[in-house]
Amino acid sequence: MKIGIIVYSQTGHTLSVAEKIREKLGEAGHEAVLEQVTITGEPAEGKFQLAATPTVDGYEGLIFGSPVQGFSLSAVMKTYLEQLPSLAGKKTAVMVTKQLPFAWTGGNRALNTMKQICKDKNAQVAGSAVAFWAASKQEKSVAACVDSMVRCF
Ligand SMILES: Cc1cc2nc3c(=O)[nH]c(=O)nc-3n(C[C@H](O)[C@H](O)[C@H](O)COP(=O)(O)O)c2cc1C
């Protein structure tokens, strides 16, 4: 399957998880392409303009990735997702990275926002996962997040 992994990453964590997902999807026989959403300005709400807005055309599968910011989905990924066209017929999975090692400190909320926007655009949402950046959980949770995303396809 041709799968687009589309991420916003402010400090590189989400991008590094996305790179691992791309590698594993490739090993599983998929054609996986990693693309980044970029901005001009500051990443805070109302202070940026989207610069690179990867198109979803041509992908049968999609994985969206984002950091959690302020106990919510990053404003950049929310703005990017909201401007997308219909995702009808596209199998979609979502993932976030975050510092605090508990999903209830913004992770679940961010994932629910992503899932809702994708569902509103008629995507088939196949799964979601969180990777925690806290040292105590990082290695295991990144591996689990990568596995969970790959198993969706
Ligand atoms: C402005 C800002 C707000 C953040 N808010 C949260 C938060 O609410 N909960 C959390 O667990 N981590 C929070 N973090 C940490 C990031 O979510 C975490 O470091 C993430 O892995 C960064 O991903 P990135 O490197 O792809 O941008 C915040 C980071 C920044 C810069």
Question: What's the complex ipTM?
Answer: 0.99
The pair of structure tokens assigned to 4 is: 């687009």
Q: Is the CB of 72 under 6 A from ligand 1?
A: no
Q: Is the CB of 91 under 6 A from ligand 1?
A: no
Specify the pLDDT at position 18: 98
Alpha-carbon distance of 38 to 71, in angstroms, equals 21
Specify the pLDDT at position 104: 87
Give domain 2-151's CATH architecture. 3-Layer(aba) Sandwich (3.40)
Alpha-carbon distance of 46 to 49, in angstroms, equals 8
Domains of the chain, residue spans: 2-151
Specify the pLDDT at position 114: 98
3's torsion region: left (phi>0), alpha (psi -120 to 50) or beta? beta
Q: 28 alpha carbon to ligand 1 midpoint, in Å?
A: 30
Q: Which positions of the chain have pLDDT values less than 70?
A: none
